[in-house]
Amino acid sequence: MSASKRKLRYGMVGGGRGAFIGAVHRCAAYIDGQADLVAGAFSSEAERAKASAEDLFVAPNRAYGSYKEMAEKEAKLPAGERLDFVSIVTPNHQHFPPAKLFLEKGFNVVLEKPATFDLAEAKALKKIVEKTGKVLVLTHNYTGNVMVKQARELVRSGHLGDIRKVVAEYPQGWLSTLAEKGDNKQAGWRTDPKRSGAAGCIGDIGTHAENLARYITGLEIDSLCADLTTFVKGRKLDDDGNILVRYKGGAKGLLHASQISVGEENALNIRVYGTKAGIEWHQEHPNQLIVKYPDKPTEIWGRGNGYISDGLKKFTRTPSGHPEGYLEAFANVYAEAFRAIRAEVSGKKQPKDLDFPTIADGVYGMAFIETTVKSSKLGAKWLKFPKL
Amino acid sequence: MSASKRKLRYGMVGGGRGAFIGAVHRCAAYIDGQADLVAGAFSSEAERAKASAEDLFVAPNRAYGSYKEMAEKEAKLPAGERLDFVSIVTPNHQHFPPAKLFLEKGFNVVLEKPATFDLAEAKALKKIVEKTGKVLVLTHNYTGNVMVKQARELVRSGHLGDIRKVVAEYPQGWLSTLAEKGDNKQAGWRTDPKRSGAAGCIGDIGTHAENLARYITGLEIDSLCADLTTFVKGRKLDDDGNILVRYKGGAKGLLHASQISVGEENALNIRVYGTKAGIEWHQEHPNQLIVKYPDKPTEIWGRGNGYISDGLKKFTRTPSGHPEGYLEAFANVYAEAFRAIRAEVSGKKQPKDLDFPTIADGVYGMAFIETTVKSSKLGAKWLKFPKL
Amino acid sequence: MSASKRKLRYGMVGGGRGAFIGAVHRCAAYIDGQADLVAGAFSSEAERAKASAEDLFVAPNRAYGSYKEMAEKEAKLPAGERLDFVSIVTPNHQHFPPAKLFLEKGFNVVLEKPATFDLAEAKALKKIVEKTGKVLVLTHNYTGNVMVKQARELVRSGHLGDIRKVVAEYPQGWLSTLAEKGDNKQAGWRTDPKRSGAAGCIGDIGTHAENLARYITGLEIDSLCADLTTFVKGRKLDDDGNILVRYKGGAKGLLHASQISVGEENALNIRVYGTKAGIEWHQEHPNQLIVKYPDKPTEIWGRGNGYISDGLKKFTRTPSGHPEGYLEAFANVYAEAFRAIRAEVSGKKQPKDLDFPTIADGVYGMAFIETTVKSSKLGAKWLKFPKL
Amino acid sequence: MSASKRKLRYGMVGGGRGAFIGAVHRCAAYIDGQADLVAGAFSSEAERAKASAEDLFVAPNRAYGSYKEMAEKEAKLPAGERLDFVSIVTPNHQHFPPAKLFLEKGFNVVLEKPATFDLAEAKALKKIVEKTGKVLVLTHNYTGNVMVKQARELVRSGHLGDIRKVVAEYPQGWLSTLAEKGDNKQAGWRTDPKRSGAAGCIGDIGTHAENLARYITGLEIDSLCADLTTFVKGRKLDDDGNILVRYKGGAKGLLHASQISVGEENALNIRVYGTKAGIEWHQEHPNQLIVKYPDKPTEIWGRGNGYISDGLKKFTRTPSGHPEGYLEAFANVYAEAFRAIRAEVSGKKQPKDLDFPTIADGVYGMAFIETTVKSSKLGAKWLKFPKL
């Protein structure tokens, strides 16, 4: 049956019981009834892998003990049963190996951010994507929010004039103590340089702020000066970072992220100021976009209204005033992924208007992490952003 | 296979292309990967029914021309294929007939609110539910929001003391002109007494406000005085209503709803004041619950935090600060429905802690509509709330 | 010296140590450096009167033991020393006698609201004002807020279209217990029918909500239905009231006020919906006016910006973003009073564009109180608003 | 008459017609009825000086043509007429000369910020203050806000634990075009290096953010890295600045200020995060202080409530919910100044609990400006904060 006439089939690597982001991916993939989870290598622990498969109604014969087994066996299934794509939701150090393998075995891939463990891996992965011609979607989910997309439209259409200043911030408070010493699985791997990579806070959430700023403004970083800190004694990676940014073309920016900003939940915010207008968006109140002017009242643009750009209306599921949230934005990334994957598995050309983060964004993000960490280690010295 | 080991199978009545609430029910049923849509009588128009089935990946042989055909044929399927439940998402006048039929054919039912066309039907339906022993879940979705549930916990635990005053309001602006004259399908049936029932605005959204107030406070109405208005010339039903309420036990209330409050999107709000504390909840910012005290700082309780009541943690899908919205609350109603339906189809006892609106709430809501309309027709005269 | 070349001289009746509103009047009169307090009958207790005079730098020979003594003696002073006006800030039952006396002795009067103890007194006072030709300014201070004035401009200019619905609310929580049993001076007189009048909460703050709604919309009440309650046992007057309103011309309204809405500070709010736009104003955030439309983004109008109506710019003291508050609004009432009083004492014609509440507003407010109390006593029956 | 039994007498330098901050000082000095303006050198233009004196009811014989004339003549007046203090509200380059002269002539001084034109002047002025023993009050008005004072109390009392991070920001948008080319008097001098000093935006408002952060946290800057920008072509001074800060003791900070953040009014904000709690304060909503915790609901502390620290209650004029604003905070600086000045003119010891910014704060602020400008000129290089 044509991929446009049926639900897509996917498998998951990671995301077993107790995981956070795996459940988010599943909700995002499920919500529109466009895909079914039919296989998984949910955990390296056999017991947990099995239990997870039961929870998720995955048939025992497609609940694998490892992603390698899954890649091998699924690759041999007939076309009518074979997975259309794989979602990889493991910790960072386990992104590249399965992504490489599944791409090379002919599967499309949805990959949790940050793309890889380090920049070299990201560049290698980019080459593999190009070589295999498969779809790779990186889930920088915040760019799936329709009001973020509207913000980008306002920038692109010249509503803001020339961009002068960008303030991107992402304060959280959940790592204000040494949570990794206890049984907090999330805290454990995210603060472990062997699993997380060169950066803690900056890799985990700073990259979201970077991605959001670049998505909305289109600006590229010329140079940056980063002052990363590990506030909690005994922690191995940064848990806070303050970064000055100079963009190509003359705009200036501030980007700060923190996991010790006690009492903050998930306060990703961005403000962009141009010559004509400014915008402000708060992830915790994602249905509104604030637009400010020099000489007229501040406007609150609300998701779902008639004045939202026509091309963006497909990214909204409920009428105005019926709030959408984190999962719906995440699901918008999946919805675009589905368009690309349906085209790929049907042997059609990719649509030209696809709107999701790619491995190129992943490479950029890894370069951001590396440059930031290097700047900080040099005493918060200005560094040119590398050519990619 | 036991119903606890597999996804539930459901069919939908109504909800074809162009419908609003049908899509919402599907998202809510899909998001947790607990159910699959496998059958439907999506529209009385054959073309639209067929196209809708295709959109929704429903097999042609289970895409029916009418709910009657669906009930008859599905009832004959073997246990392993048969529907576990039916979701009814048609306009109000088409609630009772399919609900009755499916219940009597042995199907569980999820039913869009308001329960029925009038109070008599609601009472009749209640008897059918009781007689058949099947599950009927009424989707007063706002009570699915976890912060609403937390508000109820605060009332129940005495945190607010004795309740004195309730202010429930639900202003919208989308019917501030005669939208039903154009091709606005939603405006069409919701303002049509033949399809909507005795009330317009009060039936459509006033009942949500009533249900929310009762859910949180547990208070029953003693008497009310309702001043309903049709502001838009040519409209056949009320588009605005202001209601004074006296609760049993002495608390007082105001309830107002409007569809001509221009510029309002979906501003369902509630404030409840007790002797010890007050609470405030805004549907458009549903992740926060505001708690106020006579002698200490106002508190903002945030969804997903550790201090949320343990029993409510299952109603949250994402960590604090990752906003949930309308669909997630709706999905919480479905999640509870699934627990009940899984028990029913497995022949087990119903769990004692089920938390969803039932046909009893539907009867109450229909009585609210009838009493309100009657009060208003008498010149906004005080009327006793009927015994049910 | 001409009154336009010097500060005005005024005296105060009431407002001694421990009083609340007297201090507010003084700040409002002082802030622009337009008037000096030079006399006072601050208290009926001699000790307190004397101490208050010292606090306020009033010369001992002009610190009087009673308002009668003050009226008599001040009336005899030469023109160059004589008071230009008197501010009366006593409890309600002590409004009429001094107002009458000072007007008849030739003094202009600034009078705290509500105008008088009852409607009869207010009507009598109106006649005295008309007869004496003196200025009487009633300090319904909230209408002094520039964003309230802007709201009125928007109504008057047709920006909102025809007004359909008005929701005015004034919840407070400070009387949620029997505070009058202790030494709370404010609670004492405000809940005492002998000093406050026929109403408690409705007289004290409901009248502000009524005045605000009428000021902004210009609508006159046709009839109302009021359900007043005394929630706190042992209290003699209402501490909560819910009122349905029908305006002349067909608009509908809700007005509710409360002093038992626990945790609320001073949450006077108003929403007005017309056929074209709606507005929303919150006294606790008085520098913003929210304007809502059916088909474009919600606007936040900020005090002090260039787009504020030119005629209103004189009611602002600080640039946009430098918040003004309660006292500045109060001072705007005084500023207008000063314009009128300077004209009066200079023997000039009154300016045509004066913008302050008059005794006519006072009469209206007292009629509102009487009608509300009467409606409630009849069981919350609809009553026609009296002709005045 | 003892200074405690009478209003204080003051004169003003600058602040004539068309000035902004002069009017603010007058409101702040007037609001509590504690002082009278009796002399002035309002403008160097004779016409404007005279007209201003008339506006302000200053007697012609005390309306001077220059501050020098004023100092000389007022110094010769008898004690019972002589000024108690002088308020200096001229542009920055005109702060030091009159401040020096009046102090040396024996007058107390209230001085607009920033203290002087450059650091050398500030240090010189500090010595003069010490030598003369007169009172000098620097009007960093935001620290007069009672909720800012409450924030400091929370830090001092250990409520926040050890401070880790400070984010201070002050975006405005009013200089997003070359406003100084027109007749905008404020824009004119504030962007002119001859009148404003080495910095534009950072001197004008960055110093407020610095002062606020230091006032609340007590932290001293160890080193900073400043990236200042002039975005508007033709402008001579910075109109935007982003600064990384390292505090002594290990806390980190960001401070950014802007006058080209289009659409922002006066959005001075601060967030401080400690090990136990965090706080957030927004100047545009100054009556609230937000306090956040790792494990309990966020709190909104409201001005005027019983739980506000007892020692701070004198800094509030109106009950909770009756908003105070910019002028009231400014008046709190004056109120403390008055306490000091009354003591000084009465020959009494200075109270120990005085709470206003002094010349030491002025020196600190000027050092901040110089270090910031120097860092930026070196390419945004880290510099040690100088010893003072």
Distance between C246 CA and the closest CA of chain B, angstroms: 9
User: Alpha-carbon distance A340 to A343, whole Å?
Assistant: 5
Contact of A15 with A186, CB cutoff 8 Å: no
Q: Is residue A164 part of a domain?
A: yes
Q: Is residue A2 part of a domain?
A: no
Distance between D250 CA and the closest CA of chain C, angstroms: 33
| A319 interface with C at CB cutoff 8 Å | no
| C244 interface with B at CB cutoff 8 Å | yes
Q: Is the pLDDT of residue D286 over 90?
A: yes
Mutate to test the interface with D, among C327, C338, C342 (most CBs of D within 10 A): C327
User: Alpha-carbon distance B10 to B359, whole Å?
Assistant: 20
**Same structural domain, C156 and C97:** no
Residues of B in contact with C275 (CB under 8 A): 176, 262
Residue type at A341 in one-letter notation: I
Q: Is residue D128 part of a domain?
A: yes
| C297 interface with D at CB cutoff 8 Å | no
Q: Is residue D324 part of a domain?
A: no
**Same structural domain, C284 and C156:** yes
Contact between A292 and D256 using a beta-carbon 8 Å cutoff: no
- Predicted complex: ipTM over 0.90: yes
Q: Is the pLDDT of residue D1 over 90?
A: no
pLDDT class of C192 with cuts at 50, 70, 90 = very high
Stretch D287-304: mean pLDDT, rounded? 98
pLDDT class of C5 with cuts at 50, 70, 90 = confident
pLDDT of res. B369: 98
| B305 interface with D at CB cutoff 8 Å | yes
Q: Is residue D325 part of a domain?
A: no
**pLDDT tens digits for C317-332?**
999 999 999 999 999 9
Q: Is residue D231 part of a domain?
A: yes
**Same structural domain, C51 and C182:** no
Q: Is residue A326 part of a domain?
A: no
Q: Which residues, at least 6 apart from D23, have a Cβ–Cβ distance to it below 8 Å?
A: C317, D15
Task: For residue B299, give the chain D residue with the closest CA.
Answer: D299
* CATH value at residue D43: 3.40.50.720
DSSP string for residues in D67-132 = HHHHHHHHHTS-TTTS-SEEEE-S-GGGTHHHHHHHHHTT-EEEEPSS-SSSHHHHHHHHHHHHHH
What are the CA-CA distances from residue A234 to residues A239, A262, B278, D119, D294 (Å)?
11, 18, 43, 42, 19
What percent of chain D is modeled with pLDDT above 90?
96
**Same structural domain, A17 and A128:** yes
State the residue for tokens 């020099």: A294
Mutate to test the interface with C, among A288, A300, A303, A308 (most CBs of C within 10 A): A300
Contact of B371 with B365, CB cutoff 8 Å: no
Q: Is residue D69 part of a domain?
A: yes
Q: Which residues, at least 6 apart from C85, have a Cβ–Cβ distance to it below 8 Å?
A: C8, C10, C11, C107, C108, C109, C110, C135, C337, C341
Which candidate from D231, D276, D298 shows the least CB-CB separation from A164? D231
**Same structural domain, B178 and B314:** yes
| D319 interface with B at CB cutoff 8 Å | no
- C-beta atoms surrounding A91 within 10 Å: 21
Which candidate from D165, D225, D261 shows the least CB-CB separation from A261? D165
Distance between A266 CA and the closest CA of chain D, angstroms: 13
**Domain carrying residue D246:** 144-317+364-384
**Same structural domain, C161 and C304:** yes
**Same structural domain, A109 and A201:** no
Contact between D297 and B306 using a beta-carbon 8 Å cutoff: no
Comparing CA positions, the residue from D48, D46, D28 lying closest to residue D37 is D28
Q: Is C378 helix (H, G, I), strand (E, B) or coil?
A: coil
pLDDT of res. A1: 63
**Per the structure block, which two tokens stand in for C156?**
């008057």
- C-beta atoms surrounding D183 within 10 Å: 9
| D31 interface with C at CB cutoff 8 Å | yes
Which candidate from D283, D320, D326 shows the least CB-CB separation from C265? D320
pLDDT of res. A3: 74
- The count of domains in chain C is 2
**Same structural domain, B191 and B314:** yes
Total-model pTM? 0.97
pLDDT of res. D386: 98
Mutate to test the interface with C, among B244, B258, B280, B291 (most CBs of C within 10 A): B244
pLDDT of res. D61: 95
- The residue ranges of DSSP E strands in A286-368, in sequence order, are 288-292, 298-302
**Per the structure block, which two tokens stand in for C200?**
């408690």
Which C residues 260-289 touch D at CB under 8 Å? 264-267, 283-287
Contact between C263 and B273 using a beta-carbon 8 Å cutoff: yes
Contact between C299 and A302 using a beta-carbon 8 Å cutoff: no
**Same structural domain, B47 and B93:** yes
Task: For residue D380, give the chain A residue with the closest CA.
Answer: A382
pLDDT class of D153 with cuts at 50, 70, 90 = very high
Q: Mean pLDDT of residues grouped by 10 in chain A (388 residues)?
A: 86 93 97 97 93 96 96 96 97 97 98 97 98 98 98 98 98 97 91 95 98 98 98 98 98 98 98 98 98 97 97 96 98 98 97 98 98 98 97
Which candidate from D264, D285, D317 shows the least CB-CB separation from C327? D317
Which C residues 161-200 touch A at CB under 8 Å? none
Contact between C307 and A295 using a beta-carbon 8 Å cutoff: yes
**Same structural domain, A15 and A114:** yes
Q: Which long-range contacts (CB under 8 A, 24 or more apart) does D341-348 make?
A: D341/D3, D341/D8, D341/D84, D341/D85, D341/D108, D341/D135, D342/D3, D342/D4, D342/D8, D344/D108, D344/D134, D344/D135, D345/D3, D345/D8, D345/D84, D345/D108, D346/D2, D346/D3, D346/D4
Distance between D57 CA and the closest CA of chain B, angstroms: 45
**Same structural domain, D167 and D305:** yes
pLDDT of res. C1: 62
What percent of chain B is modeled with pLDDT above 90?
96
pLDDT in tens, chain B (388 residues): 677 789 999 999 999 998 889 999 999 999 999 999 999 999 999 999 999 999 999 999 999 999 999 999 999 999 999 999 999 999 999 999 999 999 999 999 999 999 999 999 999 999 999 999 999 999 999 999 999 999 999 999 999 999 999 999 999 999 999 999 988 889 999 999 999 999 999 999 999 999 999 999 999 999 999 999 999 999 999 999 999 999 999 999 999 999 999 999 999 999 999 999 999 999 999 999 999 999 999 999 999 999 999 999 999 999 999 999 999 999 999 999 999 999 999 999 999 999 999 999 999 999 999 999 999 999 999 999 999 9
Q: Which spans in C118-190 are helix H?
A: 119-132, 146-156, 185-190
**Same structural domain, A13 and A121:** yes
**Per the structure block, which two tokens stand in for B377?**
């027709």
User: Alpha-carbon distance B134 to B83, whole Å?
Assistant: 13
